[in-house]
Amino acid sequence: MSRYRTIDDVDVAGRRVLVRADLNVPLDTDGEKVTVTDDFRLRAALPTIQLLRERDAVVVLASHLGRPKGHDDALRMAPVADRLAELGGFAVTALQETGGRQVLGALRDAEPGDVLLLENTRFEAGETSNDPQLAARIAELADLFVLDAFGSAHRAHASTVGVTDHLPSVAGPLLVAEVQALSQLLDDPPRPFVVVLGGAKVSDKLGVIHSLLPRVDRMLIGGGMCFSLMAARGMAVGDSMVELEHLDELREVLASKDAEKILLPVDIVTAPEFAEDAPVTTVDADAIADGQMGLDIGPRSRERFAEEIGRARSVFWNGPMGVFEWKAFREGTAVVARAVASADALTVVGGGDSVAAVRQLGLESAISHVSTGGGAGLEFIEGKTLPGLAALEKWAQ
């Protein structure tokens, strides 16, 4: 991790430390009460906050929430502050701006160990365009910057990259853990190395397929994306989702010397429509009828996937095997989740749906590393330079 300085390399006592965290969590509104419905990212952010509090820093948190177009009362950070305070057992002051008189006043009054949460950074028009003036204004609030939002490190925004032009900048513990886990898979994975890919669109994972296929011992592909590969192989897929514009590229993948590493489902759970209560049929993968669509991998595929995972010494899993939200199409994802959790291996799970499945099944503690970064994790695996990480490197010289 020598590419970046970390919190351990700096003295934070008595200093204002700006932490760009990933507190982008789902909310639910019931009347006037807004609550956090999944606090996974808040729990992941807590150890960094606690560490800084223990070292007598004034902690100034910044994060985006949702994708607002300007101010949106439904996406204010106050409910996030409330839940963070509940989880951490300390007060979190939710500020109503990212700068200005109220924020400066709160900072003047803050004592070491206090935690302040700025308003949603995406309320600011210049956040996503990395406006230099906004970055400078946010940076004025602190003496040091900690980037701990791996899930936002692939975005060159004012609060992730712009502030590093104005403040000494280091990597937070969560960011370090993310980079270390993914780097080990890329650089020196224990063998056999098995990758499990799912999710709806093959287009979201093409870069990962190209990057990882030469490195892995086995690549298991389920979810909606498997039907594009099956179609590229000349198999009948009925009304299953196929991204026609990518078939030529997939044919090249299937014709490559590494294609033998790819394992596709041998049976599929199908239904005549995309509906939770649709009648279900399980068929061989090469026998999907017209008018039927695949919505999960079948029992034999689950068994084969679980066997491959069980033999692995390192596993990377991103994407569900079917429509996990619906009980009739959940079992493929559940079997994979249990196999990954019970594997005697280095296991890394990323992507919102895969992480949700692991947590719903109570398997989170059995996974070596549960990633907070969906898109960022995929881009890292693809070998792309993440702007947030590049911005930290200049401070490590």
Asked if 162 is an active-site residue, the reply is no
Asked if 41 is an active-site residue, the reply is yes
Q: What count of other Cβ atoms lies within 10 Å of the Cβ of residue 6?
A: 17
Short-list 108, 104, 86, CA closest to 95: 104
Short-list 313, 275, 309, 307, CA closest to 292: 275
Of the residues 43, 201, 233, 359, only one is catalytic, namely 201
CA 305, chain centre distance (Å):
23
Of the residues 5, 16, 20, 41, only one is catalytic, namely 41
Question: In this structure, what token pair is assigned to residue 189?
Answer: 């994975």
Asked if 199 is an active-site residue, the reply is no
> What is d(CA 373, CA 370) in angstroms, rounded to the nearest whole number?
9
Residue 376 has phi, psi (to 5 degrees) of -65, -40
Q: Is 343 exposed, middle or buried (0-12, 13-18, 19+ CB in 10 A)?
A: buried
Of the residues 126, 207, 310, 375, only one is catalytic, namely 375
Per DSSP, which regions of 157-233 are E strands?
169-171, 193-197, 218-221
349 in Cβ contact with 374 (< 8 Å) = no
100 in Cβ contact with 134 (< 8 Å) = no
For residues 58-97, one letter each, b for 16 or more C-beta atoms within 10 angstroms of the residue's C-beta and e for the rest, the string is bbbbbbbbeeeeeeeeebbbebbbebbbebbeeebebbee
Asked if 313 is an active-site residue, the reply is no
HSE, side-chain direction, 13 A CA sphere, residue 65 = 26
- DSSP-derived letter for residue 288 is B
CA distances from 166 to 37, 140, 141 (A): 35, 8, 11
- DSSP-derived letter for residue 239 is T
Of the residues 352, 374, 377, 388, only one is catalytic, namely 352
- Residues annotated catalytic, as ranges: 41, 201, 352, 375
